[in-house]
Amino acid sequence: MEEKLVFVSVGGTATAEQESFVRSIEDRLRSESLIPKTVGRNTFSADAPLKAITELMEKCSGIVVIALERSYFPSGLERRGGPRQGTLVETRLPTPWNHIEAAMAYAKHLPLLVIVEDGLKAEGLLEQGYDWYVQKLPLAEAALGSNEFNGVLADWKEKVLAFQPGAGTVVPAAGPVAPSPPPPTLRELNPADLSVRDLLGALRPVQLWSVTIALAGLLAGAFSLGARLLPFGDRPKPVQGALRPTLAPGAVERPCRSFLPDTPGRSSA
């Protein structure tokens, strides 16, 4: 089976119990031909953390979020000083990098497998009700053999195997591909919902040529009708004297007489 890289979001372990639990999950992933990769644990980079995480996620086909206790508060207040102030007792919080890396992976459409240590405060991306299932488990290797964990892991693995790194999409499993529906015909289209460009694009070449000729004939007829309806008195008249030659200074304009051929009084010179 082809091995796939998976990004594992987990903070530095604080106890031997936490380290043993994380290693059990990594061994389980390797048994499924999934190679766990964690920045600062088994993958290192000279770049800034966010850049290193982004580059590593580009090579991975899924992400496993392991949220372990990082901070502990015996008591405290939330929304202190406001009307919704509340009391916190025995509050346990994970590393904020779990939320950051989960959000980055979700933006890249990576399949998520979220594992939360039992007893952590449910907030942010570790809450129930999002697009992924949140499993709350005790820090024990036996918890990784339950029917619930095996079922969720199998479903997540199927999505990981179908994912193409760098593409940002999940490729459906091989099988018969349903033919795409044919484009709607001109009769099925609603002219009120189409633009002029869509209407012209829906026409066949012969129909488009016929429409062009009809529009040209309609414009020619409109111009001809407008010329006939225009009153004769409103038509432009030639300017009087526009073609009359200019007289030289001191010259006297004389009327021009025309003679017919062989008319008496016409000079023969």
At residue 212 the predicted structure's pLDDT band, cuts being 50, 70 and 90, is confident
Is the distance from CB of 69 to CB of 117 less than 8 angstroms? Answer: yes
Average pLDDT, stretch 217-241? 60
DSSP conformational letter for 165: T
106-146 pLDDT, tens digit per residue, is 999 999 999 999 999 888 888 887 777 899 999 999 999 99
**CA 174, CA 154: separation in Å to the nearest integer?**
18
Single pTM value for the model: 0.61
Any alpha helices (H) in 42-185, and if so which ranges? 49-57, 97-107, 147-162
Q: Chain-wide mean pLDDT for the chain?
A: 79
Residues 6+ apart with CB under 8 A from 147: none
Find out whether 131 and 111 touch, Cβ atoms under 8 Å: no
What would the pLDDT profile of 231-241 be if each residue is shown by its tens digit?
Answer: 555 555 555 55
Pinpoint the alpha helices (H) of 33-146. 49-57, 97-107
Residue 267 pLDDT grade (very low, low, confident, very high; cuts 50, 70, 90): very low
Scanning the chain, the segments in alpha helix (DSSP H) are 16-31, 49-57, 97-107, 147-162, 196-202, 205-229
Q: Which residue has the tokens 């030289």?
A: 248
If pLDDT is split at 50, 70 and 90, which confidence band does 38 have? very high
Q: What is the pLDDT of residues 170-204, one digit of tens each?
A: 544 455 555 556 655 555 556 566 666 666 666 66
What is the pLDDT at residue 269?
A: 43
Distances (CA, A) of 255 to 134, 152, 178, 252, 258: 114, 116, 96, 10, 10
Does residue 22 have a pLDDT over 50? yes
Residue with tokens 């016409």: 266
